[in-house]
Structure 1
Amino acid sequence: MRIIAGDWRGRKLMAPKGETTRPTADRTRETLFSMLASRLGSFEDLSVADLFAGSGAMGLEALSRGAAHCLFVEQDPDALDALRKNVAGLDANRRATVSGGSVMSLGPAKAPHDLILLDPPYGTGAGSVALDRLVRLGWIGPASWVALETSRTEDADIKTLAVESERKVGKAKLTLLRLA
């Protein structure tokens, strides 16, 4: 795994040990960031949340492209260890907050994020459940973009969010959402 573009382009990332975390393939991440760039224009100064963060590849890609700050949330101990090492290895500590715990334990947001990245375990419906909760707790506002990665057979079904775009890449489906 490598950072695809931006200040840290080409830098290697550590993957978590074990089989519990499924890192997003470089090709899938490249497709997602192309979809986002065509809508956002730039990642400069964005507030990003990388939820179900795993190694942190998605949020670190956003930081590499100019995002101001990224909150990473991950509960798996091996993934959390890899995430912390990746943040430290890129000297991103000033622009990153790493939170060990469940996405479902997040409280109300101080302000909506510009970009929310979610890569929950495939086939669990955890992304839809988390997004419903995040909308209610103010994490997602009218200007927020949400990027959800699921298996290619899963559908995002969140009543308060509208699907802006979907694309299938390998085993994954990438869905961009906004408030309805």
Structure 2
Amino acid sequence: MRIIAGTWRGRPLANVGKGDPGAHLRPTTDRVRESLFNMLAGGRFGDPFEDAHVLDLFAGTGALGLEAMSRGAASAVFVDDGRKAVSLIKANIKTLECAACRVITRDATRLPKSDGASATLMFLDPPYGKDLGQKALKAAVDGGWLADGALVVWEENAPQAAPDGFIRLDTRRYGDTHVTVLRFGDTGES
């Protein structure tokens, strides 16, 4: 695994091999991550990275949030409750010397109240097929983690419907991964 583009382009990330199913680690492949970030950077969603405050739920290795940081995000909060995942995230943050990154060791469906800048970009990559994405999204809203107009990038094994308070902007399929892009709040977009 590596950073695809931006200031840290080509920098390696901690290797987890094929992942750790016991710890629900299923890293987004470089190919899928590159396609996903190219789609996000294509202009349809403005510039979602520049000065963004990123919230990465079920962060795993932290690759999604760190890729956003490499592309111009101002800060990132990584949330995961797995010991292996948290150690990988911390190792990757240390490798990249990312001072504007914070790790919260916690179940992403039970977020505390936000005590920082509201996220303008959120990555949501729960274990597939366990209905955890909806719960984590609700926890993020209830905890004040999302700014009005925040872009949510949700990876699952099937396309996801937009819950109340969100507008579905796009759905893409990359192999067995379905990415649903949502906008939070009453933005007037459809």
Q: TM-score, normalised by structure 1?
A: 0.91
Contact 1:51 1:116 in 2 (8 A): yes
- Once the two structures are TM-superposed, the CA of residue 148 in structure 1 deviates from its matched residue by 0.4
Among candidates 68, 82, 85, match of residue 79 of structure 1: 85
Larger proportion of helix: 1
Describe how 1:10-89 pairs up with structure 2 within 5 A.
Answer: 10-16=10-16, 18-19=20-21, 20=23, 21-37=25-41, 38=43, 39-41=45-47, 43-89=49-95
Stretch deviating more after TM superposition (169-178 or 126-135): 126-135
Contact 2:80 2:86 in 1 (8 A): yes
After the TM superposition, which segments of 4 or more aligned residues of structure 1 sit over 3 Å from their partners? Answer: 15-18
RMSD: 1.7
Identical columns (%)? 40
Contact 2:4 2:34 in 1 (8 A): yes
Query: 3-state DSSP class of the match of 1:147?
Result: strand
Query: 3-state DSSP class of the match of 1:103?
Result: coil
- Could you give the per-residue CA deviations for residues 26-53 of structure 1, whole angstroms, max 9, x where no partner exists? 1211122122222132522111111100
The one-letter code sitting in structure 1 at the alignment partner of 2:8 is W
Structure 1 residue 116 and structure 2 residue 122: aligned? yes
- Once the two structures are TM-superposed, the CA of residue 157 in structure 1 deviates from its matched residue by 4.7
Distance 1:95 1:69, change over 3 A: same
Greater RCO (CA < 8 Å, at least 6 residues apart): 1
Distance 1:18 1:149 in 2: 17
The one-letter code sitting in structure 2 at the alignment partner of 1:18 is D
The one-letter code sitting in structure 1 at the alignment partner of 2:100 is R
Structure 1 residue 158 and structure 2 residue 160: aligned? no
Distance 1:67 1:95 in 2: 9
Segments of 5+ residues of structure 1 without an aligned counterpart are none
Segments of 5+ residues of structure 2 without an aligned counterpart are none
Contact 1:3 1:11 in 2 (8 A): yes
Q: Paired residues, what number?
A: 178
- Once the two structures are TM-superposed, the CA of residue 106 in structure 1 deviates from its matched residue by 1.4
Distance 1:133 1:164, change over 3 A: same
Structure 1 residue 9 and structure 2 residue 9: aligned? yes
Contact 1:119 1:150 in 2 (8 A): yes
Contact 1:128 1:156 in 2 (8 A): no
